[in-house]
Structure 1
Amino acid sequence: MYFAIPLLVVALGGLFAERSGIVNIALDGIMIIGAFTGIMFLQMVQATGMSGQGMLLAALVVAALSGVIISAVHGFASINMKADQTISGTAINTFAPAFAIFVARMMTGVQQIPFKNDFLIRKVPVLGDIPVIGPMFFQNAYITTYLGVLILVASWVVLYKTRFGLRLRACGEHPQAADSVGVNVYKMRYAGTLLSGALAGIGGVIFVVPTSTNFNATVSGYGFLAIAVLIFGQWKPGRIALAALFFGFMKTLSVSYGLIPGIKDLSISGEIYKMVPYIATLIVLAFTSKNSAAPRAEGIPYDKGQR
């Protein structure tokens, strides 16, 4: 769950952008900015002696806000300037780690940002005592795991049970038709892009906190893995959740192979296991990309004057 939940949250962020018609390849860069601001916030607050789950939730809010700001830049370039969305996203991916390293060194003297990880929940009362399910989901867990599940449910409801979701999907499928019935395509695409940035920023913190005690201007390419999860999940929340669990399992295998009986005794280099998630990504995309159900208007700049 430590590896699957951030993939899930960030892929859902990409879902909102692409359902509106904007390709957000900048997810990795936005994750880095979100992780940087969130972890920096944690370090500054912990220096005052404060602790608790509320502080982690506050860090997620900070990360979400920073993600919104960065995605607004991508939105302006893609929607208002009608720039190539892939180039815009690539620029953000290039900018993010350099920005994080520069600011971290300027503020602390080093590029690593340490923090005290005291957010682990040893056992959730009552729920942690449930056989099988308790040890799996309610012991040695983080509150971010439950937040990820909540975001999944909320995303499904918003996309398929609200007027906003219907309009958002219409803008990604046939923006001219949506415009003809009074839907402001530009505003809807901005909404999808900003939501995408908020979730990607949150995903950066969700990735770093359970797996480390410092941030070093990288999220290990998780933003790109999240794009693979989005494609494998066919732009549908339920399938995205299953894809995130699959890739999360692959990532777990790559870091814990030394603890698995039978596998640890094989004379295979550890570097090979580290490649497993990315090899799995290539294989899965090779077999699933032909049946892609991407929104038909994604990546296509919308011109209100065209029909």
Structure 2
Amino acid sequence: MSGAVVLPQADVVVTKDAPRAWKTPIVMAAFTVVALLWFVLGTGGEEVAFRWSQTRDALQVPDTVLSAKALAIVATVILAIVTVVSAVLVQRRVRVSLWLVVGFGVVWLAALLGQIGQGTTLSIVLLTTGALSLATPLIYGALAGVIGERVGVANIAIEGQLLMGAFLGAVVGSITDSLWAGVLAGMIGGALVSLVLAAFSITYLVDQIIVGVVLNVLVIGITNFFFSAVLSANAQELNFPGTFPKVAIPVLSDIPVIGPTLFDQRITTYLMYVLVPVVWFVLFKTRIGLRIRAVGEHPLAADTVGINVNRTRFWTVTVAGLIAGLGGAVLTLGESNAFVREMSNGQGYIALACVILGRWNPVMAALAALMFGFARNLAVVANQAGSDIPADLIATTPYVVTLIAVAGLIGRAIGPAATGKPYVAGH
């Protein structure tokens, strides 16, 4: 294999004929300059304290108190070093490791937290638990998006599925006085929206993007009408379902930071922990998953070996709708305790961004959703800390990061080949 040299130490392959991809070091250099101008030059001499433990934790970890200015300087130096290393790797035609990119992001985030929290105490537990709570509905939506696109259907209707799940979850949960009935109703609501998407896009070959957008608008109109005409006047009876209580797992929930973040959560969050690896396993380790991916990549070849392409797409999209509807139910039964107008607030579209950022992998899409949840919660924490940085500006961080990551760090995001393309048997 001429032209390729294997470096066992770095576990990478250098190809002499491969073009140099300078996008990653350029993006890193830009963020390093921002860190220098914003964090180093814009940070005063105040200290920032990071609180790692809660009062009830079995193991108490003392607060970490640092100079915000010193933290900014050290972080910027590390960012500069990583940027240089990245440039050297690209010069040598070595692919920049994803872990190097992740490490760069963590250091930049630490500098940002120092700038936000100077003169105050930042609770890491509140930061992480809030992030996970906000990310949970997104993760359900992202899983629905991964499943739908893996089978060849562009599920733009995730927004409508989340909203319908939230609406029916609140109403049915209130009427029956049962949170689990509300969850089931939310899942059915998401599946109903998916069935309409499947009927028009798979059976009648209507453009999937158009159907998805129309369904989102339709669900917004329906839920807004019923909210104004019915729920507002009967909120106590029809729109007060309650929320799932938090369930602490003994011993594990007492571990500092990790315990309250991961093991003192609602049952819907624990269910998410299970669902992410299950979806990954089904898609990549089972015969059913192989069929789903075959239909999404090359439907004609799948049809040739006896797979009913449209039937596979139909039931797969319906299952995706069930999961998205569950995410919608989480919005009301796991967070807000009531349905409000358009409470999905664009999270279905964010879930689609997570699908792309995660490269159509359930685990990576879930991690991307966690990034969005963290950024949203960061805006809340910055506002509470009295930071000079406008909370609305911080709230834009996940969208900017997504654009930069897809265009600059991750490269071209190419989904399943047949996504969005209707299939007619034999063609």
Q: 1:76 to 1:214 in 2, by over 3 A?
A: same
Q: Residue 200 of structure 1 aligns with which residue?
A: 324
Give the one of 131, 151, 159 matched to 1:20.
151
Q: Which deviations, in whole Å up to 9, do the C-alpha atoms of 1:171-228 show, x marking residues without a partner?
A: 0000000000100001110122101111111111223334323211321211000000
Q: What's the secondary structure of 1:224's corresponding residue?
A: helix
TM-score by length of 1: 0.88
Q: What is the deviation of 1:303?
A: 1.1
Unaligned segments of structure 1, at least 5 residues:
47-54
Aligned length: 293
Are 2:200 and 2:211, in contact at CA under 8 Å, matched by a contact in 1? Answer: yes
Q: Which deviations, in whole Å up to 9, do the C-alpha atoms of 1:228-264 show, x marking residues without a partner?
A: 000000001221122122111111112222234xxx3
Q: 1:118 to 1:170 in 2, by over 3 A?
A: closer
Are 2:231 and 2:239, in contact at CA under 8 Å, matched by a contact in 1? Answer: no
Aligned partner letter, 1:13: A
Aligned partner letter, 1:65: I
Are 2:383 and 2:390, in contact at CA under 8 Å, matched by a contact in 1? Answer: no
User: Residues 1-307 of structure 1 correspond to what in structure 2 (within 5 A)?
Assistant: 1-46=132-177, 55-110=178-233, 114-121=239-246, 123-139=248-264, 141-218=265-342, 219-260=344-385, 264-266=386-388, 268-287=389-408, 290-306=411-427
Are 2:160 and 2:215, in contact at CA under 8 Å, matched by a contact in 1? Answer: yes
Q: 1:102 to 1:257 in 2, by over 3 A?
A: same
Which has the higher mean CA deviation after the structures are superposed, 273-282 or 159-168?
273-282
Aligned counterparts of 1:33 and 1:116: Cα–Cα separation in 2:
15
Query: Higher relative contact order by CA 8 Å / sep ≥ 6: 1 or 2?
Result: 1
Q: 1:106 to 1:280 in 2, by over 3 A?
A: same
Q: 1:289 to 1:69 in 2, by over 3 A?
A: farther
Unaligned segments of structure 2, at least 5 residues:
1-131
Percent identical among aligned pairs is 37
Are 1:102 and 1:111, in contact at CA under 8 Å, matched by a contact in 2? Answer: no
Q: What's the secondary structure of 1:199's corresponding residue?
A: helix
TM-score by length of 2: 0.64
Q: 1:196 to 1:122 in 2, by over 3 A?
A: closer
Are 1:254 and 1:274, in contact at CA under 8 Å, matched by a contact in 2? Answer: yes
Q: What is the deviation of 1:285?
A: 3.9
Aligned partner letter, 1:30: Q
| CA RMSD of superposed structures (Å) | 2.1
Q: What's the secondary structure of 1:63's corresponding residue?
A: helix
Q: Which deviations, in whole Å up to 9, do the C-alpha atoms of 1:283-305 show, x marking residues without a partner?
A: 43443674213000101110113
Q: 1:122 to 1:305 in 2, by over 3 A?
A: closer
Are 1:13 and 1:199, in contact at CA under 8 Å, matched by a contact in 2? Answer: yes
Are 2:157 and 2:193, in contact at CA under 8 Å, matched by a contact in 1? Answer: no
Aligned partner letter, 1:39: A
